[in-house]
Amino acid sequence: MNLSVQSYDVIVIGAGGGGLRSAIGAAQAKARTLVICRGKSNRSGATLLAGANISADIACDGETLARLGVSQGNKKDTKDAWFSDIIHEGFYLNNQDLATMYVETAGDRLAEMIDWGMEVHGMEGAREVSVFGSDILDTMMRRCRELNVEFMEDTMFTDLLMKDGQVCGVVCVDLYSGEIKALRCKAVVLATGGAHGIFSENSGSSDLCGEGQAAAMRAGAEMIDMEMVSFCPTVVTWPTMYKGNILPYILFSTGYGRVLNKYGKTFTDRYLSRHVERLALDSEWNKMLLSYALNAEIQEGRGTRQGGLYYALDLHPQEIMEELYADLPPLKTGIYADIMKIFEADRSLVIKPAAHYFEGGVRIDTACRTSIPGLFAAGECTGGMFGANRVSAATTEMMVEGAVAGNSAAAFARDTSLLPIDTAQMEAIEAELLKPFTNRGGQSPEQLRSRLHAISAEAMPVIRTAEKLTEGIAAVEELQHELEHVTLSDTARTYNREWRRSLELRSMLPVAKTMFKSALVRDESRGVHVRGDMLRTSNVKNLYNIVFRGESLEDAKAPAVLTRMKPEIGEWSYTEYIEKIVAEETGEEDA
Ligand SMILES: Cc1cc2nc3c(=O)[nH]c(=O)nc-3n(C[C@H](O)[C@H](O)[C@H](O)COP(=O)(O)OP(=O)(O)OC[C@H]3O[C@@H](n4cnc5c(N)ncnc54)[C@H](O)[C@@H]3O)c2cc1C
């Protein structure tokens, strides 16, 4: 392994919005800052895909939006009202201190982005400003350049280097040369996004495999509420060339199209009361509620041959098509124009709920510190902000947490000195990373990855059961054992995709196991975590977060941080509690 002669105050892992905003925060605080990124520095991760890059939303309260002159805004919509909605939407599992930080600083983050040149296209809803995901990244990238942030692209982070329980550097692989590098630093910010790669059906990009979460776990950091995974309900599963595309979700959210079972019938009223169904069809609650109804319909055997449901878009009369193109002009270009040809030919798409956003992750406090000295985290790889369900913007989360994490990491770096590297640890990591090159007779990374996908589809769909989760944990343990013997057909170090896949599995397997175990421990249904064998929500016994320390999956229940709002104590069926929460949020008695 090559130990770089360069050292840094702060190394940020990931160049989505969370990583770039962390780098800005650290560099503004005068830290020498390096961003390491698997792909290109402002063209990777989920930030680029936000709103399908047609219309991503950044959230802020109406009063602040009006003050910033972004919209007329609802001046009566205060930060407190927004906070209250976020806690309801998170079913009281949110860390309320983190949620306070979110609502209090969202306006500052939005204002600076506009100041730095981000274009706002209008409003998507009362609290949602519409932008392009690519513009978020370009704006942050310009600012990074002004601040002399350094970048290392096409480089895959694998591990944290530790000295006496404190972070002292990172290990990464140059994806072109295959060279393994170690870099020294005083503080690290993890901003590696979600762990979409664990799921065959996912809406994310292929560079999101949970290496940040896995490295944090290996270093002994705390992980919170890993069972909480939001599914996007209407993601293309067929034709397979468009698999993972969320266009039907964008169309549906704009008001166009219908989801039908294999008999051509609508079905959401089977699973949701009228009021809740209205929210599922007409509001931002749609992710959680529709994913539940769609998964239930598929499990009832009324899915299509390809295992999903139909998304049908009726473009007749022609005026409707004109309305659609007027509402969403990007539909006339690129891949969207190709997908639209399917509808124009009177065909439909097969869609399915797909893993989309990870509420759980590395546990942070309001300084974005993890439980490991020198390790900070921001964005989707963190957990705790949104509790059991996210409705408000994740783009805002990555900016809010990034700003804090970068600043905190720089402050930490100022007060510490570079620690010596433990060469034994470095050599052990190197040997582990290179082992696939000398293995013989094992399965290929692609075979193991397909098996992981089959396991996660069974164990961790929207609706889970203890039986399937238990089987899933055992199956992942078996895969972990087989990964020790994973065998490559291509043994060159240079741009070896097979090797990269095996490195991804090294992270995805422990992260998947932690998710399954969390889902097993939470023996109730709450928010996006639906247990088909326990369709009840209990505020009597389950107002806790599930926190695992490192790779140990010992049961650890930490009381939810309820500093400002407390829920009613009682027990309800899953859907009754949704109705109750919605009624509390909207103030409507008949919910
Ligand atoms: C299709 C889609 C649409 C969405 N739409 C919206 C929306 O409209 N509004 C909204 O609020 N939210 C939306 N979200 C969620 C939101 O986009 C993400 O939560 C947010 O962008 C995450 O930002 P991040 O910086 O934490 O992670 P990401 O943007 O995912 O960035 C992660 C970065 O880490 C890098 N990385 C990962 N692993 C490694 C490694 N091992 N080594 C080096 N680098 C690594 C990646 O290459 C990438 O640069 C959407 C998500 C998806 C998938």
- Full 3-state SS string of 513-540: HHHHHHHHHCCCCECCEEECCCCEEECC
Euclidean distance between CA atoms 121 and 548, whole angstroms: 42
Distance, C-alpha 507 to centroid of its chain: 16
Q: Which atom of ligand 1 is nearest to the CA of 392?
A: 11
Per-residue pLDDT of the chain (591 residues; tens, 9 = 90+): 888 888 999 999 999 999 999 999 999 999 999 999 999 998 999 999 998 878 889 999 999 999 999 887 788 899 999 999 999 999 999 999 999 999 999 999 999 999 999 999 888 888 999 999 999 999 999 999 999 999 999 999 999 999 999 999 999 999 999 999 999 999 999 999 999 999 999 999 999 999 999 999 999 999 999 999 999 999 999 999 999 999 999 999 989 999 999 999 999 999 998 888 888 888 888 999 999 999 999 999 999 999 999 999 988 899 999 999 999 999 999 999 999 999 999 999 999 999 999 999 999 999 999 999 999 999 999 999 999 999 999 999 999 999 999 999 999 999 999 999 999 999 999 999 999 999 999 999 999 999 999 999 999 999 999 999 999 999 999 999 999 999 999 999 999 999 999 999 999 999 999 999 999 999 999 999 999 999 999 999 999 999 999 988 887 899 999 999 999 999 999 999 999 998 888 776 543
Helix axes of 274-282 and 574-586: crossing angle, nearest 10 degrees: 70
Q: Which atom of ligand 1 is nearest to the CA of 380?
A: 26
Euclidean distance between CA atoms 175 and 337, whole angstroms: 33
Closest C-alpha residue for ligand 1 atom 20:
47
Q: Which domains does the chain have, with CATH numbers?
A: 2-228+356-414 (3.50.50.60), 231-355 (3.90.700), 423-521 (1.20.58.100)
Is the link from the previous residue into 373 a cis peptide, with omega within 30 of 0?
no
Closest C-alpha residue for ligand 1 atom 4:
50
Tell me the CA end-to-end span of the chain in Å, nearest whole number.
61
The candidate with the shortest Cα–Cα distance to 92, out of 420, 563, 536, is 563
Write out the DSSP string of 269-320: GGTS-HHHHHHHHHSTTHHHHHHHHHHHHHHTT-S-TTSSEEEE----SHHH
Residues with CB under 6 A from ligand 1: 13-19, 36-39, 44-47, 49-51, 56-57, 156-157, 191-193, 203-204, 207-208, 211, 246, 356-357, 379-380, 393-395, 398
CA of 16 to the centre of ligand 1 (A): 6
CA of 44 to the centre of ligand 1 (A): 8
Distances (CA, A) of 103 to 79, 372, 566: 6, 26, 18
Euclidean distance between CA atoms 395 and 57, whole angstroms: 7
Euclidean distance between CA atoms 259 and 303, whole angstroms: 11
Q: Which atom of ligand 1 is nearest to the CA of 15?
A: 49
CA of 278 to the centre of ligand 1 (A): 29
CA of 108 to the centre of ligand 1 (A): 21
pTM: 0.97
Contact between residue 160 and residue 374 where contact means Cβ atoms under 8 Å apart: no
Contact between residue 204 and residue 49 where contact means Cβ atoms under 8 Å apart: yes
The candidate with the shortest Cα–Cα distance to 34, out of 26, 43, 45, is 26
CA of 97 to the centre of ligand 1 (A): 23
Q: Which tokens hold the place of 478?
A: 């078996």
SS3 12: strand
Closest C-alpha residue for ligand 1 atom 26:
379
